[in-house]
């Protein structure tokens, strides 16, 4: 796409990491075309099958969450193209709670959580596999760094298994994975229900980790029919806090193509956090 943009075959393209440095150089002719986009209404995460040992233990999951230095990975590995995620709802999204702290990197807290786990003796752990979509090559440098952080902080070895995309989706739907990553969720519509209810309610078919918390379910069900918008957001934020504390997921990144090139003769093209381009005013 970058080559096509430079050859004037296309009018808009995102900028990947390999081109970012030269595009952001003020002396480069492309620099004048750079537009910084808002973060997508999306979330990238690592999920767990909560019915599978050792991920059935809340303290074990919390230990894994505490062990990931997201700030370091975002800066040094992903060139600040992402924002570390500690909650579920993205910034700017209805119901987003800027006071959510989640599990920030803390080696001492990670080791303490592991000590509280029924799997504190890591020599007795089963073989641990993190499944990601792919057919060879790197599973993603961020995933590889996370695996190494788990090993360095907790002494836990986790293997990466790449699965062809169609098979990955089938196995995900059938809850065949111990742990799964390399994927995200993008909002279909700007409402907290599209993340929290769809992904975490006990009866949802998209609850691939089989997370179940009766208190969270009640809050999510109440929010479905609550007509007071302020009260409704409160219900969702309370449910999100429970889900985060249970470490049902490890939220990783709020992402999106942060840097975009747009030809100067294209007018009225607005970059939005939703995936659909708004073409009405473009000329």
Q: 110-125 pLDDT, tens per residue?
A: 999 999 999 999 999 9
- Which tokens in the block code for residue 85? 């995620």
Model pLDDT for residues 230-243, shown as the tens digit of each residue: 999 999 999 999 99
| CA nearest neighbour of 82 among 272, 260, 256 | 256
Residues 6+ apart with CB under 8 A from 242: 213, 215, 216, 219
Which residue did the predictor score with more confidence, 272 or 104? 104
pLDDT at 275 over 70: no
Q: Residue 183: its pLDDT value, please?
A: 84
Q: Residue 78: its pLDDT value, please?
A: 87
Write down the number of H helices and E strands in the chain.
10, 9
pLDDT at 89 over 70: yes
Q: Residue 82: its pLDDT value, please?
A: 87
Annotate 210-249 with b (16+ C-beta within 10 A) or e (fewer): bbbbeebbebbeebeebeeeeebbebbbbbbbbbbebbbb
Model pLDDT for residues 20-72, shown as the tens digit of each residue: 889 999 999 999 999 988 888 999 999 999 999 999 999 999 999 999 999 99
Q: Residue 30: its pLDDT value, please?
A: 95
Task: For residues 153-174, give the mean pLDDT.
Answer: 95
**φ, ψ at 167 (rounded to 5°):** -65, -40
Q: Residue 53: its pLDDT value, please?
A: 95
E strands along 70-188, which residues? Answer: 83-84, 129-133, 159-163, 179-186
pLDDT at 145 over 70: yes
pLDDT at 257 over 70: no
Place of tokens 């969270």: 216
């Amino acid at each position: 796409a970058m080559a096509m943009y430079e050859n004037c075959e296309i009018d808009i393209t995102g900028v990947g990491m390999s081109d970012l440095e030269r595009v952001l150089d003020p002396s480069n002719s492309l620099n004048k075309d750079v537009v910084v986009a808002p973060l997508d209404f999306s979330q990238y995460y690592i999920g767990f099958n909560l019915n599978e040992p050792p991920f059935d233990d809340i303290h074990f999951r919390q230990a894994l969450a505490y062990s990931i230095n997201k700030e370091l990975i975002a800066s040094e590995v992903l060139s600040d193209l992402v924002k570390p995620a500690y909650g579920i709802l993205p910034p700017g999204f209805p119901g987003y709670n800027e006071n959510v702290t989640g599990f920030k990197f803390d080696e001492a807290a990670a080791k303490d959580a592991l000590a509280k786990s029924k799997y504190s003796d890591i020599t007795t752990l089963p073989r641990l596999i993190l499944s990601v979509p792919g057919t060879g090559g790197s599973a993603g440098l961020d995933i590889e760094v996370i695996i190494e952080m788990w090993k360095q902080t907790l002494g836990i070895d986790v293997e990466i298994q790449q699965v062809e995309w169609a098979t990955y989706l089938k196995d995900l739907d059938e809850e065949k994975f111990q742990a799964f990553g390399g994927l995200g969720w993008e909002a279909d519509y700007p409402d907290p229900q599209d993340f929290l209810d769809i992904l975490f309610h006990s009866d949802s078919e998209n609850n691939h980790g089989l997370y179940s918390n009766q208190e969270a379910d009640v809050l999510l069900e109440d929010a479905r029919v609550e007509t007071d918008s302020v009260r409704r957001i409160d219900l969702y934020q309370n449910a999100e806090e429970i889900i985060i504390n249970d470490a049902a997921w490890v939220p990783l990144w709020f992402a999106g193509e942060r840097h975009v090139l747009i030809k100067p003769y294209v007018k009225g093209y607005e970059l939005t956090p939703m995936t659909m381009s708004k073409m009405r005013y473009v000329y």
